[in-house]
Amino acid sequence: MLARLLMPGVLLSLCIVVHALVMSYLLRRSARAVGRTKLRFWPVTLLLIRMAWWMVVAHLVEIAIWASFFAWHRMFPNVETSLYFSAVTYTTVGYGDLVLPEKWRLVAGVEGLTGILMCGWSTGFLFALVSRMYTAQTVETVTTK
């Protein structure tokens, strides 16, 4: 049982590494972009769209990591089903139409918690980015008056 709970910890760690890499990249890109972007509707909107797409890609990679684990252990008949189950579990939609074999069921809970953590991290990043843009705009407005 302990070994079956150790693997989700490894998968969680892999997801953190993926997310940290993408967030670090986006942090560098956004720092440069906020400094040189005119804070008008379209430039800001396009920046947010680019950032959101990168975050979605990170989440899809993390879902694929979990799905690979399920496929590797042949918990579902094919990779497509593993991806579907992983996406539904990671996003905590949890339709319930598929379940893991009984001895692996706790793994689904860890994937759901991983998804909550990673989505929260992405949300926090977007909030910080918008706050940084708002602060830059406020400073720009104050200095030009």
Question: 83-102: per-residue pLDDT in tens?
Answer: 999 999 999 999 999 999 99
84 is written with which tokens?
């579907």
| Residue carrying structure tokens 């986006």 | 26
pLDDT at 108: 95
pLDDT at 68: 98
Spatial CA neighbour of 6 closest among 90, 107, 117: 107
22: exposed, middle or buried (C-beta count within 10 Å: 0-12, 13-18, 19+)? buried
102: exposed, middle or buried (C-beta count within 10 Å: 0-12, 13-18, 19+)? exposed
Which residue stretches of the chain have pLDDT < 50?
none
pLDDT at 143: 64
φ and ψ of 32, to 5 deg: -70, -40
